[in-house]
Structure 1
């Protein structure tokens, strides 16, 4: 009997751990669905089946504040369909206490005063807004710190939305990483007058850089310096890598550099130039690079072409083949032309493609050539 009781308790413990801790503090799990919650969600046209498939445990929680969440969002200007999408994608929102939600609204509006914009952010990052009240003090401290750096409020809002973990921890940790970045910028010859803009770009392009350890940044910069990169080149890399230099490590970079140099048959100086033009060569694993080299060479592209336009390595083999086929339809031979036309985002490629086709189809008109007339 004691064994059965112990086993039953263990099973209950396992089930309990599946529920986020910050939500279980003020809620109780029931064996049956909370019918009031289900009815309220139906009234709001929320996709109940989606909730049941992805996060059914929310429907068993009590208390739930479905109406209060919907009212708060509507009061901020959210339409009924937007409310329904938010609650279907992040139903945990209904477990947040109304006082907690009001505090969050006040907090977020200190950096994003336009409610319409804030609703758009909540729709895209609901988990960042509907968070534990235990983090409010840290969030306020971090907002005050980033504002003291004179960072644009839009940047701060983006950080809060896309990397909420960095605002839910003690401000001292963010101060340490920011100071490390600023020190690296200055040590590498960055100008003081441009540091704020540089920091804003770095944080907006990769908000997760704040969550990395400062030691990693120092180790990677030392490694790259030993590989022959000058301070100016390191600063350029640190800016172009958008913080990815904190996600690398000397061992992986060493392996990638050795593979790239051997495959392209270039000198260390040539390789540094290629990396400055295409940092992807540095942070892509050698397995991925091998696949992309194989795809490019298989399409008839030469290694010398790749070295002249290395950014083509940022594209997957599937994308490269698709773009080559598009160009081939209009008679553009990538084997003899420039690879630059392949590069860029989908939108950028379409623009380049359109300009290329326009030049090929438009008749050339020489305004000084004599007109042909019948005798």
Structure 2
């Protein structure tokens, strides 16, 4: 895995213990707190105790631009409570030069639909917005590159927010990974007309795929091909794994597949079919798979039911046990019924429980129907 690139606006914005003082020349560290910063944060209703606990070093820095940063955020439409939350989570923002933040704002607005949406992004990903001004050229070049791919602006914005490192690095590295993904897509039989949609979906679901070495993707696809997966099945896996295929390696996949086949007691062809329906089996470690198989089997669920609905393996043992007990109170026995009812998000499960509750409460006869008299 590539080393994560630091994303603070300037070197001083990083944790003090992580860097020697002489590597943070743009700020001065004082033994006492900068009272102007503390008072300005108090005026903005920022949780000072939280700042002291998590990033107290910021309060010892000078100069600081607390009011200027708050004013800039307010001009963008951020409310007082939002500004307070941003500065509580990412107080190093107050150490950033307002002119550089303005330049960053203009850069983001080239792909962000509105200032209101940008404020929402900053609230969720403050460290992504307050990045080093030294990366502006790389950011600008990468934005232009992804726009040249005709990617949706919202996708580009999401990439910048959730994986800022990919925009801070030289454009050539992103070009190489995207080209590798496109070549793999074509070689596996993907249709050219669907290339853009496929790439957008993959990058949206796993932005960090850009940070992986391209050769990892090749090695993993070759391994899976040797395991008997067809080109169409490999394309399906590459799409459904949401880019996780770049986070795997042949050794780990071999151990996982070997364990799964022994635990299930199936043939290689049957295992491939199960993996296609539940790609998670490729990247869960043996220890996690062992725990989840044990939890399901100890609940009285047969292996045949598990392999019929293998996606149940994506749920933790704690969640499975809770859902089994909840269903039991509604009169549903997972040992004899389908495990599909266990699957899905919390909302999906609650919907299924609601349907079971209605079915349980439904009267066995129509109370308004006229009673049939004796002949």
- Whether the TM-score (by the shorter chain) exceeds 0.5 is yes
Written as runs of structure 1 = structure 2, the 5 A alignment for 1:24-35 is 24-35=24-35
Map Cα deviations across residues 47-100 of structure 1 (whole Å, 9 max, x no partner).
111111000110011111000110011001111111001001000000110111
Give the Cα separation in 2 of the matches to 1:20 and 1:172.
Answer: 31
Map Cα deviations across residues 175-227 of structure 1 (whole Å, 9 max, x no partner).
00000000000000000000100000100000000000000000000000000
Matched with 1:313 is 313
Give the Cα separation in 2 of the matches to 1:21 and 1:281.
Answer: 47
Give the Cα separation in 1 of the matches to 2:25 and 2:269.
Answer: 58
Matched with 1:351 is 351
The farther-off stretch of 354-363 and 16-25 is: 16-25
- Paired residues of 1:240 and 1:279 also in contact (CA < 8 A): yes
Written as runs of structure 1 = structure 2, the 5 A alignment for 1:185-204 is 185-204=185-204
The farther-off stretch of 119-128 and 16-25 is: 16-25
Written as runs of structure 1 = structure 2, the 5 A alignment for 1:272-351 is 272-351=272-351
1:209 paired with 2:209, answer: yes
Name which structure has the greater RCO, CA cutoff 8 Å, separation 6+.
2
Give the Cα separation in 1 of the matches to 2:20 and 2:62.
Answer: 14
CA distance change for structure 1 residues 294 and 231 in 2, over 3 Å: closer, same or farther?
Answer: same
Q: CA deviation at 1:16?
A: 5.9
SS of 1:256 mapped into structure 2: helix
1:147 paired with 2:150, answer: no
- Paired residues of 2:138 and 2:168 also in contact (CA < 8 A): yes
SS of 1:167 mapped into structure 2: helix
- Paired residues of 2:93 and 2:130 also in contact (CA < 8 A): yes
- Paired residues of 1:297 and 1:303 also in contact (CA < 8 A): yes
Q: CA deviation at 1:305?
A: 0.4
Matched with 1:223 is 223
Q: CA deviation at 1:356?
A: 2.6
Matched with 1:262 is 262
Q: CA deviation at 1:360?
A: 3.2
- Paired residues of 2:330 and 2:356 also in contact (CA < 8 A): no
Name the count of aligned residue pairs: 358
- Paired residues of 1:277 and 1:310 also in contact (CA < 8 A): yes
Matched with 1:8 is none
Give the Cα separation in 2 of the matches to 1:316 and 1:16.
Answer: 38
Q: CA deviation at 1:31?
A: 1.3
SS of 2:199 mapped into structure 1: helix
Written as runs of structure 1 = structure 2, the 5 A alignment for 1:1-375 is 18-19=18-19, 24-363=24-363, 372-374=371-373
- Paired residues of 2:16 and 2:57 also in contact (CA < 8 A): no
Give the Cα separation in 1 of the matches to 2:245 and 2:177.
Answer: 13
Give the Cα separation in 2 of the matches to 1:21 and 1:289.
Answer: 46
TM-score, normalised to structure 1, is 0.92
Cα RMSD, aligned residues only: 1.7
- Paired residues of 1:23 and 1:96 also in contact (CA < 8 A): no
Give the Cα separation in 1 of the matches to 2:20 and 2:166.
Answer: 19
- Paired residues of 1:22 and 1:132 also in contact (CA < 8 A): no
Map Cα deviations across residues 163-185 of structure 1 (whole Å, 9 max, x no partner).
00000000110000000000000
Runs of at least 4 residues off by over 4 Å: 19-23
Map Cα deviations across residues 330-352 of structure 1 (whole Å, 9 max, x no partner).
11111000000000111111112
Give the Cα separation in 1 of the matches to 2:133 and 2:254.
Answer: 44
Residue segments in structure 1 that go unaligned for 5+ positions in a row: 1-14
Give the Cα separation in 2 of the matches to 1:189 and 1:252.
Answer: 27
Give the Cα separation in 2 of the matches to 1:36 and 1:129.
Answer: 24
Q: CA deviation at 1:353?
A: 1.8
Q: CA deviation at 1:357?
A: 2.4
